[in-house]
């Protein structure tokens, strides 16, 4: 996969705003939103949402849904304007926003129908995603061009601060027996050890 030059942020912003309006105006938008928020236990993680200070799912799920949709619209715009370059479209993101993208795209059938009706492609591949967002970067420039506002700092956490918060979480998780950022633990639930 060859990476092209990323399209002009103003052009991306203009197209992303159109895409987002199309998604929000779609006949199944409400179902997409409700379904995404319905089962938070299925989209909880140890590394994405928990880096939000004083994370509170009932309070944070709506603004995160908004940010996840915005990121998907930006990525779809870059994908389209770059001639289908998936690598260019995998924008640097903040971990919590990226986690919400996973939750939105888990609504697979309705997401596919929406993208077909709106005439765009949702872009997201975990083999190319990177939690490298920083204020002022290309993603930030596209975001402000598209939405006329700054990304909310509560959810759009920069790369260095993400690393710092992940280190805090790792230490706390380790202290209660949760290892490798939730990939393993030493809790036996009172059962005999596996051989």
35 in a domain, yes or no? yes
Nearest to 91, CA basis, from 62, 63, 69, 123? 123
Residue 38 has pLDDT above 90, yes or no: no
By residue range, what is the domain housing residue 31? Answer: 9-180
Asked if the model's pLDDT at residue 128 lies above 70, the reply is no
- Domain for residue 101, yes or no? yes
User: Which whole number is the average pLDDT over 162-188?
Assistant: 88
pLDDT band of residue 105 (cuts 50, 70, 90) is very high
Q: Is residue 117 part of a domain?
A: yes
Q: Specify the pLDDT at position 141.
A: 98
Count of domains forming the chain: 1
Among 15-19, 46-50, 57-61, 68-72, the range scoring the smallest mean pLDDT is: 46-50
Residue 188 has pLDDT above 90, yes or no: no
Specify the range with the lowest mean pLDDT, choosing from 21-30, 45-54, 153-162.
45-54
> Is 127 among the domain residues?
yes
Asked if residue 190 is part of any domain, the answer here is no
Tokens 């990323």 appear where?
Answer: 6
186: in domain: no
Residues 7 and 79: beta-carbon distance below 8 Å: no
| % residues pLDDT > 70 (the chain) | 93
In a domain, 71, yes or no: yes
Find the mean pLDDT for residues 94-112.
94
DSSP secondary-structure letter at 185? E
Residue 32 contacts residue 110 (beta carbons within 8 Å): yes
Provide the whole-model pTM. 0.91
Query: Mean pLDDT in the chain?
Result: 91
Confidence of residue 44 (pLDDT cuts 50, 70, 90): confident
Nearest Cα to Cα of residue 32 among 78, 77, 69: 69
Query: What is the predicted pLDDT for the residue at 194?
Result: 61
**Is the pLDDT reported for residue 25 higher than 90?**
yes
Alpha helices in 82-158 (DSSP H): 86-89, 95-105, 108-118, 138-147
Cα separation, 95 vs 134, whole angstroms:
12
In degrees and rounded to multiples of 5, residue 185 shows phi and psi of -155, 170
Q: Is the pLDDT of residue 89 over 50?
A: yes
The answer as to whether 195 is a domain residue is no
Which pLDDT belongs to residue 181? 79
Tell whether the model's pLDDT for residue 130 goes beyond 50. Answer: yes
Nearest-angstrom CA–CA distance, 126 and 177 = 27
């Amino acid at each position: 996969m060859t990476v092209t030059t990323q399209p002009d942020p103003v052009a991306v912003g203009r197209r992303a705003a159109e895409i987002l309006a199309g998604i929000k105006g779609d006949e199944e938008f409400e179902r997409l939103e409700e379904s995404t928020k319905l089962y938070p236990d299925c989209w909880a993680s140890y590394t994405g949402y928990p880096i939000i200070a004083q994370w509170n799912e009932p309070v944070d799920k709506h603004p995160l849904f908004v940010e996840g949709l915005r990121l998907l619209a930006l990525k779809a715009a870059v994908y389209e304007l770059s001639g289908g370059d998936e690598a260019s479209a995998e924008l640097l993101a903040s971990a919590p926003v990226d986690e919400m993208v996973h939750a939105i795209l888990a609504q697979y059938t309705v997401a596919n129908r929406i993208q077909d009706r709106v005439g765009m492609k949702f872009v997201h591949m975990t083999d190319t995603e990177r939690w490298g967002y920083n204020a002022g970067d290309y993603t930030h420039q596209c975001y402000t061009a598209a939405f006329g506002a700054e990304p909310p700092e509560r959810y759009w956490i920069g790369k260095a601060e993400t690393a710092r918060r992940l280190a805090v979480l790792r230490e706390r998780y380790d202290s209660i027996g949760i290892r490798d950022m939730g990939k393993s633990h030493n809790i036996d639930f009172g059962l005999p050890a596996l051989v």
